[in-house]
Each structure stands twice: as C-alpha cells, then as structure tokens.
Amino acid sequence: MAETARTVIIEQTGGPEALKLVDLPVGEPGPGEIRIRHKACGLNFIDCYQRSGLYPLELPHALGMEAAGVIEAVGEGVTHLAPGDRAAYAAMPAGAYTEVRVMPAAQVCKLPENISFEEGAAMMLKGMTVQFLFHRTTPLKKGDTVLFHAAAGGVGLIACQWAKSEGIRLIGTAGSDEKCQLALDHGADACINYNTEDFTQRTRELTDGKRVDVVMDSIGKSTFMGSLDCLKPLGMMISFGNASGPVEAFNLGLLAQKGSLKVTRPTLFAHIADPAACQEMAAMLFDKVASGAVNIRIGQRFALEDVAEAHRALEARKTTGQTILTLG
C-alpha cells in the first residue's frame, strides 16, 4: 500500500474554513526531484492570497510555500542533496503544508547543522525576501535610509536586523506601541505607530525633511500613496505585498511630479528561479543567522490540524515574528 501523508489542501477558494486536512499518496521522486519528510512548515501571507483566490491556483491544490526537514530520497540528476541531508526551502509549487512530499529539487537548500528545523521552516521565504530587497532590487549602501512597513512582522524583524548588520538606517512602521518596541529591539532606528501617527509626516520629521532612499512595503493598498511621499527625489518604491489589498491603479505621471520616483513590484520566486541564484541567496541568509546577525524569532506555533486558526491569526495581524506549523 502506498504511503500517504497528512496534507492541507483547498478544493475551492475562500476563508480559512476552505482549508482541509486530507491523506494524499506520496510516491517516489522522479528526475530532478526529491522526497522530503518535514519537521516544520512556514506560514506566509502568500498562502492566504492563494487560499482566497487573489493568487489563483488550479484546484484542488495543496498549500504552503516553505518547510524544513530531512531528505528521504533523490531522483536522477540531483547532485546537491542526498538522503539523510537536513534541508529547507521556499519554492514553487505550493504544497509545503504536509508531512512528506515529492517536489523539484532545484530550490531546496542544504540546511546547516547549527540552524534548527523550526528556524529553517520559519526563515527561508522571509529571509530570502529580505536578501533580495537589500541586495538584488536597488543599490543600497551603508548610511542609506529605508522606510519599512510592518516592521514587527516575520519579514520585518529579519529586515530590522539585516539593516543594522549592514549600517543601513531602518525606520519601521507597525500597528501598536508594543509592535513598535519589538521592531526597535530588533534593530530599527525608529518605529512609527501608524494607528496613532501620520507615517508620512513622521518620516519627514525623522529625516529632517530629507525623506528616505527606499520604501519597502508589503502592506499595499492602504500605504502605497503615502509611501511615495516619504521618498527622496529619485527614490525607489518597492511594493512586495498586498496585506491590505492590491495597489490600485494610479497615474504614472505622479512619479514625475513627486521627484522622478521609481517603482518596482518584485517577487521572491522570480529571484530564485535560477537555481544558482537561489543557493547563493540562501547561503547569505544562513551566514547572517549562523553569525548571530539575524535571530529568527518564532512568535507562534500551530499544529498542522490547526492551520485554519493560524490563517485567522495571520490575517488579523495578531502575529509577531515568524509563524510555523509543527508536525508531531
């Protein structure tokens, strides 16, 4: 009888109630594939976007974009991994919310011994996102100033530490004084509570009217236009998420009026599509964590069967740091 694995799927789009835990057959890896037994799975906003239909999937489909575990088998042509290796990944296709899966090997990375499975599951998507924001999207150098929205979230707390480790001034935003303090504790130079302060005005005050070199914004609709007013002339707006909804259409002429601004909408999966680039990005992330420059803060743990509760907490912005699904 073929092995099965508990796996979270959706058969139709909708709210957290659309998530179903089922048993699916696992199978053997084919050419270029591996079979991995997960120890923990990461939770990300992209999972919610896929569940809701904002990012369409062919249904039915398993969910989850990152996890860590042990390689059980490798297919023909896989040379960078072997059975018994500890490994972690953030990769397409979705399907990480499971005990065991067969998947393409190219974006799976060998996990160093001094990084735990829980850290590996929590850090790959968010950590490599920070890597491309700071190293692959626009030139940043020591002394530059960045405005980072949702600075107390999973990506944000990594970004606060990453910026500090490279001499970049990071001004964060968050939705409460407690979350602002968390960002400050992780290396933010300042943090603005956007529920009690106008973040655009406060950013100008914090920069003596000079504004910032780069805005990194995963919030989307509710912060986008205000963020443009936080940028210096020739500044770069990096919109990399839609937590408040997708950014609405706007007149490109506004970018000229506000100082010849630049705007980009990158995704991690475009950056890691090249396997060599993916491995290089992961290696830099592993170095940051192993050196102590970046600490992976796991704020919440949910059992796999409680995945709907985890989604509700994430969408209600009740989480801080990383959230993982545990497999016991």
Q: Which two tokens stand for residue 142?
A: 């020591």
Q: Dihedral of the CA atoms 2, 3, 6, 11 (nearest 10)?
A: -30
User: Is residue 303 a part of any domain in this protein?
Assistant: yes
pLDDT of residue 243: 76
Please check whether residue 48 lies inside any domain of the structure: yes
| 283 falls within a domain | no
pTM given for the model: 0.92
Residues of the chain with pLDDT > 90, as a percent, come to 89
Residue 286 forms part of a structural domain: no
Residues 119 and 151 reside in one and the same domain: no
Neighbours of 165 (CB within 10 A): 15
Q: 226, 246, 265: which is the final residue of a domain?
A: 265
3-state SS assignment for residue 123: helix
What CATH number does residue 307 fall under?
3.90.180.10
Whether 203 and 234 share a structural domain: yes
**Which of 265, 281, 304 delimits the end of a domain?**
265
Shared-domain flag, residues 250 and 154: yes
Q: What pLDDT shows up at residue 118?
A: 96
Tell me: do 142 and 260 sit in the same domain. Answer: yes
Judge whether 168 lies within some domain.
Answer: yes
Same domain? For 120 and 229 the reply is no
> What's the average pLDDT block by block, 10 residues per block, for the chain (328 residues)?
88 97 96 98 93 94 97 97 98 96 97 96 96 97 97 93 98 95 97 96 98 95 94 97 83 95 95 96 97 93 97 88 89
CATH number at residue 231: 3.40.50.720
Note whether 16 and 103 are same-domain residues: yes
Residues 107 and 182 in one domain: no
Cβ distance 146 to 212 under 8 Å? yes
Residues 59 and 153 in one domain: no
Residues contacting 107, CB < 8 A, separation 6+: 89, 90, 91, 92, 272, 275, 278
| pLDDT score at 313 | 94
- Could you tell me if 95 and 161 lie in one domain? no
* DSSP characters over 273-316: SSHHHHHHHHHHHHHHHHTTSS---EEEEEEGGGHHHHHHHHHT
Q: Are residues 115 and 144 in the same domain?
A: no
Task: Please report whether residue 67 resides in a domain.
Answer: yes
Same domain, 145 and 104: no
Same domain, 151 and 121: no
Furthest-apart CA atoms within the chain: distance in Å: 69
Residue 171 in contact with residue 145, Cβ under 8 Å?
Answer: yes
Structural domains in the chain (count): 2
What is the token pair recorded at 21?
């835990």
What pLDDT, in 10s, does the model give residues 224-281?
999 999 999 999 999 998 877 888 888 999 999 999 999 999 999 999 999 999 999 9
- Give the structural domain span for 200: 138-265
Judge whether 281 lies within some domain: no
Kindly report the average pLDDT of the chain as a whole number: 95
Amino acid 1: pLDDT = 45
Picking from 250, 265, 280, the residue at the C-terminal end of a domain is: 265
Residue 114 maps to a domain: yes
